[in-house]
Chain A
Amino acid sequence: MTSVTAEPRTEEVLAPRPASPRPRRAGWRTFRYAVLILSLLVVLIPVYVLFVTSFKGMGDATPARTWFFPRTWTLENWVEAWTALSPALLRTFAMVIPAAVISSLLGSMNGFVLSRWRFPHANLVFTLILFGMFIPYQAVMIPLVQLMIDLGVPNGIPSLILLHVVYGIPICTLIFRNYYETVPMELIESARVDGAGLLRTYFSVVLPISIPSFVVVLLWQFTSAWNDFLFAIFFSSASNGPVTMALNNLANGAMLSNYGVSMAGALIASLPTLLVYILLGRYFVGGLMAGSVKG
């Protein structure tokens, strides 16, 4: 994990080391647990607040009672938030799935070529692609806005799919390239010997063994496109945009005073990515470790 091109083999790297036979001081151990448990509580404070507030009725939300359980638990906020967000949730799925699939396919092709196909300046090309991962999108935004107007790409989901595909290419390329570097040369060589060309090798040998990387990349692209707000605010409105737009509108718009509804909304908007994290956490971490986050 020393650089952006390091291995995303997190399952192994993060595996706990075996206990060493050396005896440990009890004080140090207690201290470690104290630090970890206290941190756990602090990290979970926002979750507690979200959860509790989302079940409070109108009268319950007084400043004096903010840190307590609701007097009566009610689902009103959840129903209201669901009504406000559900169309945007559907739109977000319609955006995130094609965006993740297309950018990971492109990333896989690039990764294969860059790891196996020696052409002049391959290293420079790879670095130039990687740089796209770090650029602040603010630096390309004005031409993007004008391009979308000129092309007549409909605002909202279609624009956003295009943008997430394009700006997802660098990280997808990075993850696949790292993965293909670990694939034994012999596998590909033997396909070559059998007379398969590059394209043939890619489609019949490489693609099928890329499943683990596809899982990492798809989850990663899913999460970052789902959570994006910067492109959403430039290329969509609350009525045709993804869930981050709708949530922002809910929380900072007319509902300003009703924290219960916005907190239920925040939970609803986070559920898909949280589920992904809980169910497939290690693949999610694999994406994280690959070195970057869109922000």
Chain B
Amino acid sequence: MSTKLKSWGPGLLLISPSLVLMAVFVYGFIGISFQQSMTDSHTAGQATGRAPVSFVGLANYWALLQTPAFQHSLRNLLVFTVVFLLGTLVIGFCWAWVMDRPIRGEGIFRSVYLFPMAVSFVASGVVWKWLLNANQGESASGLNRLFQMLGLDFLQNSWWADATWGILAIALPAIWQLSGYVMALFLAGFRGIPEELREAARVDGATEMQLYRHVIFPQLSPVALSALVIIGHMSLKSFDLIMSIANQSSYSTKVPAIDMYNYATVYDYANSAAVGIILLVLVALAVVPYLWYDARTRKEGR
């Protein structure tokens, strides 16, 4: 026993602060959140411990899922995620594909496409709020004014103010900000494919198109999966961008992360925690199989 302790002890010593922090701040707090989501703590008095709190099981979840307002948030989240994913994956992939072969100025293109990643959503929200201004006609500014100047008046619309499809307007800046990231992932994927493989296909008489279609694209599916999971989980958590463009009181662009904040600001901790747990479940559905797969391949790789 003591030899075991001797060989593990120092390692454990180095890693234990982080393990304790992760255990408490990630897993412990998820547990507490879940427990709080099953109480009737809906008021400031209860939040500060002055009023009694009782256990209500999953009642808050059922109630939330039946509220039209929360259903609207979930629908928005779905629409946003689908468009955000499609947009970044398609654009990022095309950029990487076009850049795969040597091209002059590649460094410049790459740097420009990637730079929005370095900017906070709050700062980009400032300019996008202006670009997506809903005013039309004489008072139009932003993109609506640009469409007017280009004679594309039919493209003018009310952007994020639209109650049904307004959330799509928020997907635009999100795509702007992250397509470059997906490009970088795909570009690394393209360049990770050994040159011999391409040469072999060429020797076998494959045209460039066939080479891509049958040799290169299939090799990129793990990259596509990574991009899907990473962008997908970011999309489910989207908060900053929506807050800074449309702010929390806007019904049209509401998503669960905004609801969570809104409940918290009025001390409705039970509902707030419930929305947080719903988000966690959604993210876990995407991420856990991915991490599991990743852990397995790591084991086999040894």
Contacts and interface: CB of A to CB of B under 8 A. Distances in A.
Interface string A77-117: 00000000000000000000000000000110110111001
Q: Classify the secondary structure of A's interface with B.
A: helix
Interface stretch (B53-61, B63-71, B156-164, B222-230): B222-230
Given A13-B192, A244-B122, A288-B181, A2 B11 contact: no
Interface residues of B, number: 118
Given A138-B257, A229-B243, A289 B26 contact: no
Contact of A46 (B124, B180, B264): B124
A158 interface: no
Contacts of A107: 18
Contacts of B103: 32-33, 36
A183 interface: no
Contacts of B238: 295
- Chain B CB within 10 A, most for which of A1, A13, A202: A1
Interface in A10-64: 10, 13-20, 22, 24, 32-33, 35-36, 39-40, 43-46, 49-50, 53, 63-64
A73 interface: no
Contacts, number: 312
B73 interface: no
Interface residues on chain A, size class = 35 or more
Nearest to A277: B118
A281 B111 contact: yes
B19 A125 contact: yes
B47 to A, nearest CB: 8
B243 A226 contact: no
A197 B296 CA distance: 31
B291 interface: yes
A114 B15 contact: yes
B17 A106 contact: yes
Contacts of A119: 8, 11-12
Nearest to B293: A3
Contacts of B110: 14
Nearest to A273: B118
B121 interface: yes
B21 to A, nearest CB: 5
15 contacts: A1-B188, A14-B187, A17-B195, A45-B131, A46-B124, A141-B33, A141-B260, A142-B264, A143-B33, A197-B10, A274-B119, A277-B118, A284-B118, A288-B114, A295-B234
Given A13-B192, A141-B276, 6 more contacts: A1-B226, A36-B98, A64-B145, A127-B291, A136-B276, A138-B260
Interface of A: 1-5, 10, 13-20, 22, 24, 32-33, 35-36, 39-40, 43-46, 49-50, 53, 63-64, 66-67, 106-107, 109-110, 112-114, 117, 119, 123-132, 134-145, 147, 166-167, 169-170, 173, 197-199, 202, 223, 226-230, 233-234, 244, 247-248, 251-252, 259, 262-263, 265-267, 269-270, 273-274, 276-278, 281, 284-285, 288-289, 291-293, 295
